[in-house]
Structure 1
Amino acid sequence: MKKRTLTLTLPLIGIAATSLAASEHLFNFAFKRVNYVPETSADKQKYADAYYAYVDWYQHVTKEKWYLHEHDPKNRMVAEYIPAATPSQQTVIISHGYKGNGETMANFAQMYHHLGFNVLLPDDRGHGESAGEYISFGWLDRLDYLQWIQQVIDRSTADVNILLFGVSMGGATMEMLSGETLPPQVKAIIADCGYSSIEAELTYLLKRQFHLPKYPIEPLVSTISKRRLGYYLGDVTSTDQLRKNTRPILFIHGEKDVYVPVGMAYENYAATHAPKQLWIVKNASHAESFWMNPERYQQRVTAFLQTYFK
């Protein structure tokens, strides 16, 4: 009887150990910071020349360095502030994508700069020049953005109108931020290809990229997240936050997005009770909506702002 029990137990121990090791590896792969910006996906390589033209503009435009917790290296957050060409009472705060930084949003920075906005581009936790060992996928970042918003208000010499804008993880960050108590200076939000929840996104990518089922990997990764970041993955969603949102919001999503599936845009839109618009961009892949037609993208954003950003 003991021999039979041992025969059954040893494989189970092996499976458990393998699952734990795989979960630890996946958590580090997905959540641990990297000190470089990974290459873009193959489908967007054709936009490389245009992207680097925007980066060149960004590197030469007049800007200032802003900080949160400047004298605390373990918690220091860094942002670049680009003042409008002429004094403006409009400021956009831009949230970048996964493993990006403020500079990777150079195209959007230029677009809003040309629209007359001051532009603030933070590096999120675990990204760029900001501190942080782990990427929080927007949930902890939303608290930093509350402080960035207050800093914009405090540094403005007159009443300021604030727009929140983000792409991919940045879009989800702004969706998660939308459910917090925002000051009246925040007038509207634009979220481009944000996910509905961290858990749903991870589960989707487990299957698509790694051909792994949700169980037992996701619950184990979620437990690691709780221990290191303070939250279970299932406890935080964009949709729950959007149900509390009171600001007008424009959702943008590529029709052929296979990284954050387009169904998540419909979930986020359905969860929102505030004034809302949804623009599904035909044939666009993940975060490609701008690159397919920058002029049309700016026109769509401008139309939303003319309606809601007052």
Structure 2
Amino acid sequence: MPGHLDPHAVEEVQISSLSTGGSPRLDGENLAHVETLVASQAQLPPIIVHRPTMRVLDGMHRLLAAKLQGHQKIAVRFFDGPEEDAFVLAVRSNIAHGLPLSLADRKHAAERVVTSHPQWSDRMIASVTGISARTVAEIRKTTAPATTRIGLDGRVRSTDVTEGRRLAQELITKDPALSLRQVARAAGISPETVRDVKKRLSRSEDPLPDRSKRGTQLTRRTGKLVPSPTTVLERLRADPALRFNQNGRDLLRLLNVHTLRTEDWQKLAESVPSHSRESVAHLARDTARKWLEFAALLERNKLQR
């Protein structure tokens, strides 16, 4: 992962200078866990902070505990690197130790990583987010396909094997004695794909199998294709005009909370107790009206410029 995190370089930083937005925890921090840290009176490890944005990547519970204890400063290890890699580090750190991320947190994190690192393999993203490669593959179906992916072994492989199969056909035709691995390395495809090409050629078939068209992360709306909400949100996250001011970061946090998949909304609905459903529904409709008013305000401002 690009970026640098020195495990030995620790600095004392003013707590007031830190940003706490962009946490991978959808429901925020666990106050009971914070109280446990406060009561322990133990020397807590340094938190990890993204130096360019001063955003806390790992250690929000420790930070809240330090605030409750009245501390003005806290020990920090800085990460220097792109913001998308900072999020990956935040997820990886919160899975490796401390209070684990929930399944919903990990799935939502995988959606972001699939979008920000589309070249990573399902297994690599699974190792970062703590879910299965199969679940990552399901999530990837709703995002734009990458032309290459990087596996856990660090090797780059093509996801569009059309050109690779054609090249394998040429290599096999020119030199049938080449091994599967030799052809695979030269064509940038897997040995199993080469094996399939060989079988097809032996039957005088086209080396390209008939495949149904893959879905993309684009959805059709009002007769035209528009990017998925996840894709739009990632583009907004990359906009310095939003990232580097407090109002922009607040907006991104709100958008992040509301950009959930349908099944996640369903799980949230099922978790609401029967005696609170009417109240939650009322608040949801009120929030929806406010978002519609906000959308209309944005559109009016656009027309006035």
TM above 0.5, one fold? no
TM-score by length of 2: 0.27
Compare relative contact order (CA 8 Å, sep 6+) and give the higher one, 1 or 2. Answer: 1
Larger Rg: 2
Q: As a proportion of its length, which structure holds more helix?
A: 2
